[in-house]
Every structure is written in C-alpha cells, then in structure tokens.
Chains A and B, each alone.
Chain A
Amino acid sequence: MKTLKFIIPTLLFSLFIIGCSGDDDTPEVVNEEEIITSVIATLVGDTGTVTLSSRDLDGDGPNPPTIVVSGNLKTNTTYAGSVQFLNESETPAEDITEEVEEEAEEHQVFLIPGGGLDVTVTSENSDGNGNPLGTQFTLETTTVTNGTLNITLRHEPKKPNDGTLADAGGETDVTVTFDVTVEQ
C-alpha cells in the first residue's frame, strides 16, 4: 500500500503539471475568408438603375438572407447588368467577384428568369476559353410582366454547357431568387 500512497499523488501531480504548462491565451477569432454573404446585381438602363441585393451576414447561421429589390424595371429597355459577390462578414468587405473573374474557367453565373417573367438575359463576358462567365450581362425587357430572377454561381461547372444548371453541374456557391416586376 505504500506504493499506492506514492503513486496517486505522482499521478495527480504529473497531470497537473502537464495540464497547466500550456499558456492560457484565448484563441483568435476566425472570420470566414471565402464565404459569400452578399449578392448584388446592378441593372443600369436609360430610365434608371435597379439593384437586387441579398445579404446573409451570419453566413450559415440561423438568420435567413435579407432580400431587397430597389424598384421595378421598365418595358422595352436594355439594361447593362453586373453581379457582385461580397464577403461582408469582414471589414472592409472583400470583393469575391475578383476571385471569380480570375478563375473564370472554373466559374459561371447563371441568370434564370422564372415564374412567367418575360425577359431575355445574355452573358456579356467570357472566360479564357471563350465560354460565358456571366458576371457582366444584359437584360432586355419588352412587355409588362412579373416573376422571379434567379442568380446562381456555380463552381467547377462543365464548360461549355447548354446554359442550363442541369447540364452545367458543378457546385452551387450562390443561389438567390428575386421577385422582379416589369412595368410600363
């Protein structure tokens, strides 16, 4: 039993030493570097500018994205459009569009009208292989219509593809659906 009397304190003491030897610096905060919190599409037409924005500042936290459409589009107008992807969980916000454009071959933005929205969207920029990239685009309106416009960013899609998400495959980095109205 003498041995026991020796061993128990030794055991406890050793662990105490091991346990307390580390310094107690609090860990540093990690701000997600590559997360996209915000998608902002800007449509510039002769009759004015409309912005569609979706912001989800807590990323995959419980809060849903806040979706804002600044106004309605006008009929028979050609809008010069651009999509911007931002990480606003960092200060200053990081513009992820630049990364997407640098790696254009591995990305594609799809703009998909739905819910009866009668507009035509065309990609205006392309990657190094001449395939569409879609961060710059034109949107043409004709008649009075309303519906949805979905913006999807795919990572590593099949390129070239037939312009549908199903054919493109890859991974969804962003998908946001806006309610859009075209008025007189």
Chain B
Amino acid sequence: MKIYLSVALAVLACATSIAQNCELTLQGTVIDIHDGTPLAGATVVLAGSEAARVTDFDGNFKFTDLCEDLYNVQISHPECTTKAFAVQLQNDTDKTFKLEHHLEELNEILIKGSTYYTKAESVLENRISLETLEDYSSGSLGDALKTVSGVSSLNTGNTVVKPVINGLHSSRVTIINNGVRQQDQEWGAEHAPNIDLNTASSITVLKGAAALQFSGDAVGGVVVAEPAPVTLKDSLYGKTILSGQTNGKGGALTTTLTKSYENGWFARFQGTAKRYGDFEAPDYELSNTGLSEQDFSVNTGLNRITYGFDAYYSLFKNKIGILRASHLGGAQDQVAAIGSDRPLILRDFTYDIDTPRQEVTHHLGKVSAFYKSNSLGMFRLTYDVQQNNRLEFDVRRGDDDGKPSVDLELVTHNLSFSLESDVSDEISLKTGLVGNFQENFADPSTGVRRLIPDYKQYKFAVYGIADFQLSEKFIAEFGGRFDYTFMDVFKFYRTSFWESRGYDTQFPELIVEDFGNQLLTNPELEFNNASATVGFSYTFDEDYVLFSNYSLASRAPNASELFSEGLHHSASRIELGDLRFNSEISQKITVTAQKKGDRFSFAINPYATFVKDFIVIEPTGVQQTVRGNFQVWEYRQTNARLLGLDTDAMFNITDALAFNNQFSIVKGQDTSKEQALINMPPASITNGLQYQLPLKQQVNLGIESNYVFRQNEFPNNNFEVFLPETESFETVDISTPPAAYHLVNLNAGTTFNFSGIATVNLNVKVTNVLKTSYRDYLNRLRYYADNLGRNMLLQIKINY
C-alpha cells in the first residue's frame, strides 16, 4: 500500500503542472471483499471536495466532471470499516472497491472461514463445547471426549485415558491438534494422547474416516482439537481456571492470555499445571497413581482477509504413576493378584510418583500461512515438527534401578499444502498434498531390548474432496486419498524367534549382522493405501437433517504390530508382532438422523463397519521362561465386523429444567473365527437433569446418572498355570468382564459478573456420589484394583 501511495504522490507532483482535463468520469462498484456481494447504501466521498454519492442497490456509484488528478476516495458503510482508496484519474475510470465487513461480522467470518469450518458434509460433527471442555479442565482429553455418545475410553488407571471411537482406538483414531496430526506413539494401548485439552476451545469428533483431508487411515474416527479464534480488535483478554479436588488431593491451574490488534496481529500464551497424589478407590488408596503435568503454548500470527500466517509452539510434559500392584512377574503372580479383592501392594497416601511410571515430553512446532486468491481459492502451506520422548520406568534391580526400561524418541516432520476453492456456487473443492518424515530412536542405554525398533518412515499423500450443493437442502460429498508409506527399519531379532517364525527361510536377505543370540536385520517395507468417501446430507425442513456416508479407509500396520517381540512388563505378557502384515481395509456405512430445535432435539446414528485384515492381538499359548510362565499374545490378521448405535436426546421441559439422554452400544465380531472381539466397550446409558433455580442470581443444579452394562460378549482367553506351592493348576481369569455399574454425579454452578471487567464462574462437582465400588471392562488395571471412589471438585473460572 505504501508503495502505491508514494508512486501516487510522485504522479500527483507531476500532474499538478500539467494542463487539466476536467470532464472525466469515475464510476465504481462497492463489494464485500469475502463473498463479492454488492454493498448498497455505502457512502462514497471524494476527500477535499463536497462531492458524495450513495451506492445503489447493486453497489454502483458515479461521479462526473472530474479533473485529471489524484483523488482520495473514502467509502463508508454502516456494516463496514471506513476505508480510503487513492485513485489516479487520467481517463474515465470504472473500478471495483472492496470493503471489509464490520468487526464483529468479520470475526464470524474468520471463525467460519479458518477455524470452525466444516470438516465433512455427510457425517454429523459431534462438537464438544467450550463449556464442557472447561468442566474437564483439570482432567484429560480422553475424559472430555467421553461426553460424546459412542466415544468411550481405554484406560490404564484413571490418568491414562485413551479415546475409543465406536469400539476402535490407538492407530485407528487420528487426533488433529491445532491443525497438526498428533504423532505421539499412539500405537500403544497405554499411551494417552499427549495434548493439554486447555489449548482447545472446540473439539470435534468425526466417527469414521470421512474427513480425508486429515487422514486416510482413521478406521475408528477423527478427533479435531482447535484453539479459540482471535477477535479482530485491539484487545487484551484472558481466562484462568483453578480447580481443586479431594480425590488425589490435588488440582490444576490453567491460564490463557490473548493480545489482539484490529490490524490482524495477535499473540497468545497459554499454560497449565496439574498435580495429584495417589488417588483412592472407595475402600483403599490406589498406591502410586499420582500425576504431575506442566504444559504451555505460545502462538502468534497475522489474520487478514486474504492472507495471514500463524506460528505455534507447545510443550506437553507429564509424569504418571502406574498402580504399583499392577507390576507383576509371571502367571503365578497374576493368579494371586486377580484372586485378591484388593491390590496386593497398599501404601499410605503420597504425592511421590515411584516406579512403575511414565514420563512423556511432547514438543510441537508449527508455521502455517494462507493466501486467498479470488479466482483459485484459499491456499495454505503448513510445516510442523513434533518430538515425542517417552520414558517408562519399571521396578528394576541393582544398578538399573532408576533407569528407564523404555526410552523412545519419535521425531516427525510434516509439510502440507492445501487448496480450498469454490469452483462454482454449487461445487467446492478441497485438495492437498502431504509429505511426512518420521524417525524413531530407541535409546539402547536402557539395558532392555528395544520395544520398538529404530526406523525411518517416509510418507506422501494426495487427496481431493468435492462438495456439491445440489439444492439448498441437498449436499453431496465425494473424496479420495492416496497414501504411500516407506519404512526403513533396523531391528534386532532374537535368533530363536527369527527361526521359530520361519523368517530365516523367508527373509534371509534382511540380515545385516549376526550377533549369535541376536540378529540385526534391515526390513524395508512399502505400503500403498487408498481411501475414499461418498455421502450426502439432506435437510428435510428447517429442523430435520439426514446424513449418510460410506467411507473406505486403509491403514498400514504400525511399528508395534509389525515388530513387537518380547515381554511387555506392564501387561505381564509376551507380545509378538508379524513382519508380514499387510494393510487393514475398512468399510463403514453410517446414517444419522438429526432433529435440531430449541425445545427438543435428538440424533440417532446407527453404523456398520467391516474390516478386512483387521489386526488384533490375542493369546496363543503359554511360554516358559526362567521367570515363570507368561502368556503369549500374538498379533494376527482377521476379518471383523462392528455394528453399533449411538443416540443423543435433549428436551427442555420448561425454561428452567432440561433433560438429556445418551445411549451407545457396539457389537464387535471376529467373523473369521466367529467369536466376539476383545475389549469392545459395553453398552452405556447416561441421563441428566439440569435445573436453573428461580433466583436473581443465576444458579444451576444438575444430576447425572451413568449406567454401564456388563459386557456379555467376549472371547475366552483364560489359561491355566501350575502353582508349585499348592501343586495345583489354577485358571488365570483374564477374560471375564466385571459387573455392570451405576454412577451418580452432582453439579452446581453460579456466575458473578463484575461490571464488564470480569466474569467469575464457581462450580462444584461431585462424582461417584454413592461411593460405588466398580471396575471397568476397558480399564487395563481392572484385574488389580477398583476404579475411583467419590471425588469433590471445586472450580473457579475467571474470564477477563
């Protein structure tokens, strides 16, 4: 702009000396910059003169009898920011002037345009509101996700919470954090997402693989966590949430501070700290289950209508104690632990986090820029890098005490380019290219054989998604994606395992070096994965919408499924992967009928998923070692079918009283073996009442009932073990699911408004009010201890 001005000034300096022609016309059209609609009623003033015009219905205006000169044209409109344009008039001129909408509307546009945009047209987007996220501020991402019907969690205790979408988890769930695909060794069943949920102001759950711009392998679904949009005005605002709770005798503090400018620049800082000691079940302490977490993020950037950029860095660091009584030797220990009705190791409450424990550090850095071209659409280029370091400390002996047993460092670089364009009024197109490099390094100084081998992985992907607005009510969506993966792996195999699997005859060329009892091998694996989606949404009248989608997802096996080979201490079992696996291919059909409305709303979502070459781990035998007998679990490929139904309903009985209900059920079947799939979430039903007291001061009271049925369909993986002392064989019952349970939760909250400077929310929440002793089928520690007892949480939320 400055250059134009100086050029214009220079021209002006010359122009004044030249003889004047004063019969020129300046006409123009004033339009809205983002959608090109004409702006009627805009006032156009030629600065320094009395001349003024108001644009007509089509946004047109016209000045006549103007001289050759430089004019300063000022255009104002009630809904827009006044803007000045320099126009050098030499001939009759017809020009288009673009105005930016008024601030508030602009924010809305930015919100729609770049933040909470639609991720898929033909599946229902389950969005978790900011209010709900704030409720879970002191908890974990997984706990907040469970508020969505059809989402459950695979837990290791109560602090490691891994989301399960429609019965599927780990590598089958893609998590998008701030526009970046999270790479935090998600293959592990006891690895929770390394995300501070306080960085997000909205989380969307897409059940299924329809959102191909994010990934083609999300057989289970996609979770998209997005930060709050920045308002476009000169402002400094923030939020602080302080929570304290009785169970775990700890709390959390999180704060966000945003500085924004009208010209589009912004900066934001966010930080969270959490600290808990041992949690407790109704009848005993859960020894060594404390948690310590520190996270922060910084974000700065520029948001203009047609271009902008964004730089983001976040650090997530935690230390999680794992129930001491869950660390076991062989099967004999399992018999004793499962047979006991309380954990075999109980200690007094402490904040100390001893072994076993996990320590995870996750860095995420991102730079992203966008440019909106009127003709082509919006281009976005993003580079991001993530470093994930995972340490797992086991109970060890001698010099090794205090040394981690697992030390994995995963570095991922990702470069992506996308283009979103409106080909016509009816057709919009999303296309993109992604390149990704990942390197895993397993530190050998642990003195324990690598759980995951060293590898380098290269990925390239290309996708395209087209939305067709066939009528005002009917939107159709088609998408396709192709992913290419190349893995260059250096893996040490035990010679005995290599031979017992027959790899010695199948892959003799992979051996790089022979160390006697171990072999260094260099497998180079290639996977080509195609995925596709097709679907539509149809709006019957204002309130009723029908979504229908078919998606084909294809997932390359992960490093754990391919290369596991050895004792998994935290599971007390030997886990074996298979080098020969191919990709699993899933097909999901989902239909959602939604009714929107203020008084009554609901959504019903049945679905069916069929997976070919589904990778599942299951027991195949018992292995003798010097440490005793261990069950052997081998990964295997089979065909699977998941059928399920999720429902949501909300009814405002009166203005002050609201009722809500959620129900989910899923049935998983291994169709090759004709038996139930392991670890399928049991059916559950949640009912809630919210009541607003008839007082001047707004006070909300709520009660929630959560009933989880017993899982009656499960594979029988029990096995027998010989106990030398009693000279008897005992059954190790690792299969039977725990009984159904019912939890009651209460909450109360009120808001104080301090004359526009700040609002303060005060919330009290009591969970498991009745002190119910229960165990959950999807908690890996259910063999050893009950779940949490009663907890009282006090939360103070300040917006300023």
Using CB atoms and an 8 Å cutoff, list the residues of chain A in contact with chain B: 3, 7-8, 11-12, 14-15, 18-19, 22, 26-30, 32-34, 36-39, 54, 56-65, 89, 96, 99-100, 102-103, 106, 112, 114-115, 148, 150, 152, 154-156, 164-166, 169, 171-177
Within 8 Å of chain A (Cβ to Cβ): is B628? Answer: yes
Contact of A174 among B399, B444, B626 (CB under 8 A): B626
Nearest B residue to A22 via CB reads: B439
Nearest A residue to B325 via CB reads: A169
CA distance in complex: A99, B447 (Å)? 16
CA distance in complex: A18, B722 (Å)? 53
CA distance in complex: A8, B626 (Å)? 56
Q: Is there an interface contact between A3 and B458, defined as CB atoms closer than 8 Å?
A: no
In the assembled complex, which residues on chain B have CB atoms less than 8 Å from the CB atom of A32?
447-449
Q: Is there an interface contact between B496 and A26, defined as CB atoms closer than 8 Å?
A: no
CA distance in complex: A99, B400 (Å)? 11
In the assembled complex, which residues on chain A have CB atoms less than 8 Å from the CB atom of B626?
36-39, 54, 56, 59, 65, 174-176
**CB within 8 Å for A172 and B333 given contacts A30-B444, A58-B495:** yes
> Could you show 23 A-B contacts with beta carbons less than 8 Å apart?
A7-B433, A8-B433, A11-B433, A12-B460, A14-B435, A19-B458, A29-B520, A32-B448, A33-B447, A36-B627, A61-B497, A62-B497, A64-B623, A99-B397, A102-B398, A112-B724, A114-B725, A150-B725, A171-B328, A172-B328, A172-B333, A175-B330, A175-B628
**CB within 8 Å for A62 and B496 given contacts A165-B725, A172-B333:** yes
Q: Is there an interface contact between A18 and B725, defined as CB atoms closer than 8 Å?
A: no
Using CB atoms and an 8 Å cutoff, list the residues of chain B in contact with chain A: 327-330, 332-333, 336, 344-345, 379, 381, 383, 395-400, 413, 415, 417, 433, 435-437, 439, 442, 444, 446-450, 453-454, 456, 458, 460, 490, 492, 494-497, 500, 512-513, 515, 517-518, 520, 566-567, 574, 623-628, 630, 722, 724-725, 727
Question: Which of A89, A106, A172 gathers the greatest number of chain B CB atoms within 10 Å?
Answer: A172
The 3 closest A-B pairs by CB, nearest first: A172-B329, A33-B447, A150-B724
In the assembled complex, which residues on chain B have CB atoms less than 8 Å from the CB atom of A11?
415, 417, 433, 435
Nearest A residue to B574 via CB reads: A60
Task: Known A-B contacts: A8-B433, A33-B400, A150-B725. Give 15 more (CB < 8 A).
Answer: A15-B437, A18-B437, A19-B458, A27-B454, A29-B515, A32-B449, A34-B400, A56-B624, A62-B494, A63-B496, A64-B624, A154-B329, A172-B328, A172-B330, A174-B626
**CB within 8 Å for A7 and B417 given contacts A15-B436, A176-B626:** yes
Nearest A residue to B630 via CB reads: A60
Q: Is there an interface contact between A169 and B344, defined as CB atoms closer than 8 Å?
A: yes
Contact of B398 among A58, A103, A166 (CB under 8 A): A103
Q: Is there an interface contact between A15 and B520, defined as CB atoms closer than 8 Å?
A: no
Q: Is there an interface contact between B497 and A15, defined as CB atoms closer than 8 Å?
A: no
In the assembled complex, which residues on chain B have CB atoms less than 8 Å from the CB atom of A115?
727
CA distance in complex: A169, B329 (Å)? 11
In the assembled complex, which residues on chain A have CB atoms less than 8 Å from the CB atom of B379?
3
CA distance in complex: A7, B709 (Å)? 53
In the assembled complex, which residues on chain B have CB atoms less than 8 Å from the CB atom of A176?
626
**CB within 8 Å for A172 and B496 given contacts A15-B435, A165-B725:** no
Q: Is there an interface contact between B490 and A155, defined as CB atoms closer than 8 Å?
A: no
CA distance in complex: A173, B454 (Å)? 29
Q: Is there an interface contact between A65 and B624, defined as CB atoms closer than 8 Å?
A: yes
Nearest B residue to A102 via CB reads: B398
Question: Which of A14, A28, A155, A175 gathers the greatest number of chain B CB atoms within 10 Å?
Answer: A175
CA distance in complex: A36, B436 (Å)? 42
Question: Which of B330, B490, B627 gathers the greatest number of chain A CB atoms within 10 Å?
Answer: B627
Q: Is there an interface contact between B727 and A114, defined as CB atoms closer than 8 Å?
A: yes
Contact of B395 among A22, A57, A156, A177 (CB under 8 A): A156
CA distance in complex: A1, B561 (Å)? 41
Chain A nearest CB, measured from B440 CB (Å): 11
Contact of B625 among A28, A60, A155 (CB under 8 A): A60
CA distance in complex: A89, B447 (Å)? 12
Nearest A residue to B723 via CB reads: A165
**CB within 8 Å for A28 and B725 given contacts A11-B433, A156-B395:** no
**CB within 8 Å for A30 and B724 given contacts A7-B433, A56-B625, A102-B398:** no
CA distance in complex: A38, B626 (Å)? 7
Question: Which of A27, A38, A154 gathers the greatest number of chain B CB atoms within 10 Å?
Answer: A27
In the assembled complex, which residues on chain B have CB atoms less than 8 Å from the CB atom of A96?
397-398
Q: Is there an interface contact between B725 and A112, defined as CB atoms closer than 8 Å?
A: yes
Chain A nearest CB, measured from B85 CB (Å): 28
Nearest A residue to B458 via CB reads: A19
Chain A nearest CB, measured from B726 CB (Å): 8
Q: Is there an interface contact between A57 and B727, defined as CB atoms closer than 8 Å?
A: no
Question: Which of B397, B515, B626 gathers the greatest number of chain A CB atoms within 10 Å?
Answer: B626
In the assembled complex, which residues on chain A have CB atoms less than 8 Å from the CB atom of B460?
12
In the assembled complex, which residues on chain A have CB atoms less than 8 Å from the CB atom of B448?
30, 32-33
Nearest B residue to A156 via CB reads: B395
Chain B nearest CB, measured from A149 CB (Å): 9
Q: Is there an interface contact between B435 and A171, defined as CB atoms closer than 8 Å?
A: no
CA distance in complex: A177, B442 (Å)? 36
CA distance in complex: A173, B413 (Å)? 41
In the assembled complex, which residues on chain B have CB atoms less than 8 Å from the CB atom of A175?
329-330, 332, 626-628, 724
CA distance in complex: A175, B331 (Å)? 11
Contact of B396 among A26, A34, A166 (CB under 8 A): A34
CA distance in complex: A19, B454 (Å)? 14
Q: Is there an interface contact between A7 and B725, defined as CB atoms closer than 8 Å?
A: no
CA distance in complex: A18, B327 (Å)? 40
Contact of A99 among B395, B398, B458, B625 (CB under 8 A): B398
Q: Is there an interface contact between B437 and A19, defined as CB atoms closer than 8 Å?
A: yes
Chain B nearest CB, measured from A168 CB (Å): 10
Nearest B residue to A107 via CB reads: B397
Nearest B residue to A7 via CB reads: B417
CA distance in complex: A33, B456 (Å)? 27
Q: Is there an interface contact between B446 and A65, defined as CB atoms closer than 8 Å?
A: no
Q: Is there an interface contact between B397 and A34, defined as CB atoms closer than 8 Å?
A: yes
Nearest B residue to A152 via CB reads: B724
Nearest A residue to B457 via CB reads: A19
In the assembled complex, which residues on chain B have CB atoms less than 8 Å from the CB atom of A39?
626
Q: Is there an interface contact between B496 and A58, defined as CB atoms closer than 8 Å?
A: yes
CA distance in complex: A177, B327 (Å)? 23
Q: Is there an interface contact between A172 and B332, defined as CB atoms closer than 8 Å?
A: yes
In the assembled complex, which residues on chain A have CB atoms less than 8 Å from the CB atom of B453?
27
Q: Is there an interface contact between B724 and A114, defined as CB atoms closer than 8 Å?
A: yes
CA distance in complex: A38, B627 (Å)? 10
In the assembled complex, which residues on chain A have CB atoms less than 8 Å from the CB atom of B450?
27, 30
Q: Is there an interface contact between B517 and A89, defined as CB atoms closer than 8 Å?
A: yes
Question: Which of A15, A28, A64, A156 gathers the greatest number of chain B CB atoms within 10 Å?
Answer: A15
Q: Is there an interface contact between A29 and B492, defined as CB atoms closer than 8 Å?
A: yes
Q: Is there an interface contact between B336 and A58, defined as CB atoms closer than 8 Å?
A: no
Q: Is there an interface contact between A173 and B624, defined as CB atoms closer than 8 Å?
A: no
Chain A nearest CB, measured from B154 CB (Å): 25
In the assembled complex, which residues on chain A have CB atoms less than 8 Å from the CB atom of B435?
11-12, 14-15
Chain B nearest CB, measured from A126 CB (Å): 19
Chain A nearest CB, measured from B538 CB (Å): 34
CA distance in complex: A166, B728 (Å)? 14
Nearest A residue to B573 via CB reads: A60
In the assembled complex, which residues on chain B have CB atoms less than 8 Å from the CB atom of A174?
626-628
CA distance in complex: A54, B624 (Å)? 11
CA distance in complex: A156, B355 (Å)? 13
In the assembled complex, which residues on chain A have CB atoms less than 8 Å from the CB atom of B517?
57-58, 89
In the assembled complex, which residues on chain A have CB atoms less than 8 Å from the CB atom of B345?
169
In the assembled complex, which residues on chain A have CB atoms less than 8 Å from the CB atom of B344?
169
Chain A nearest CB, measured from B298 CB (Å): 24
CA distance in complex: A3, B447 (Å)? 50
CA distance in complex: A96, B496 (Å)? 24
CA distance in complex: A60, B565 (Å)? 9
In the assembled complex, which residues on chain A have CB atoms less than 8 Å from the CB atom of B513?
26
In the assembled complex, which residues on chain B have CB atoms less than 8 Å from the CB atom of A30?
444, 446-450, 492
Question: Which of A8, A34, A148, A173 gathers the greatest number of chain B CB atoms within 10 Å?
Answer: A34
Chain A nearest CB, measured from B432 CB (Å): 11
Q: Is there an interface contact between A172 and B437, defined as CB atoms closer than 8 Å?
A: no
Q: Is there an interface contact between B447 and A60, defined as CB atoms closer than 8 Å?
A: no
